[in-house]
Amino acid sequence: MTDPKMMSQMEDKPGFIAALDQSGGSTPGALKLYGIAETDYDGDEAMFRLMHEMRVRIMTAPAFSGDRVIGAILFEKTMDGEAGGKPVPTYLWEDRGVVPFLKVDKGLAAEENGAQVLKPMPDLDALLKRATAKGIFGTKMRSVIAKDDKAGVGAVVRQQFEIGRQILDHGLVPIIEPEVSIGSPSKQEAEARLRDELARELDALPAGTRVFLKLTLPTQADFYKPLVEHKAVARVVALSGGYSRADACEKLSRNHGMVASFSRALTEDLRATMDDAAFNASLGKTIEEIYAASVNKT
């Protein structure tokens, strides 16, 4: 059953979602940006340990609280880890006032018709049961649209909602994430097709169903306003998608009703060599910048 306090926060409270969900394939790049080269560790176990230490440093920083960060998306290993002597989801909600989400996808299939759907997830039901037991509120899964193609966009959206309904059956709230590549040669056309496909699937959901949408910042400001206002949408959040934080925040500030769910844009100024004072100050400044772009619209 969905926690009503968490749902109220995620629907109504000003703030943004932190994406702390880099997985196996993206972890080396995230660590490199943090200042830890692949030559600094040996093997996946050491890599994930360093990544967890970075995430705990972020989650325990003074500025990382529900005052600004209303939710956080976690990698499975992060969900299973600890922060502040507690399981991470418990620590986030009880100590920081941050609603925990879980990344559930297993990566992307090969591109077909200009898009990449999700790889099969045969163990999803078991993962969702574990997530529910650990106090996770919702989930996230990312597909990618590289160009405007009817078959490709349609396949992505259908799969997202098919799996989304499976997630809803477990009492969790899905974040539907069909990312449109910011370098797509037909980005604006793909966004128009995506908006129509999303609206069609949203219209078909049972009355009272609520989902989140995580979308690339659109070429045209407020292009996703009809989705923001859809009765089945709890909130529309924006991914940074490779934009710098400055560019992502500027674009976000022109899209009313959308809030941030940034990953690399959240951590781009953080370095492993920073002492705690410098780290906390840098993260605090970044959080204020992203919060302002999410809340204060031009």
d(CA 101, CA 89): 8
d(CA 233, CA 210): 5
Q: Check 103, 147, 214, 251 and give the catalytic one.
A: 214
d(CA 151, CA 141): 20
Q: What is the DSSP letter of 181?
A: P
Cβ partners under 8 Å of residue 247, min gap 6 = none
Q: Check 103, 140, 147, 177 and give the catalytic one.
A: 177
> Considering only CA atoms, which of 74, 68, 72 is closest in space to residue 23?
74
Tokens of 10: 């995620």
Tokens of 91: 């620590």
Judge whether 177 counts as a catalytic residue. Answer: yes
79-108 b/e (C-beta count within 10 Å ≥ 16 → b): bebebeeebbbbbbbeebbbbbbbbbbbeb
One-letter identity of residue 241 = G
User: Which residue numbers are catalytic?
Assistant: 177, 214
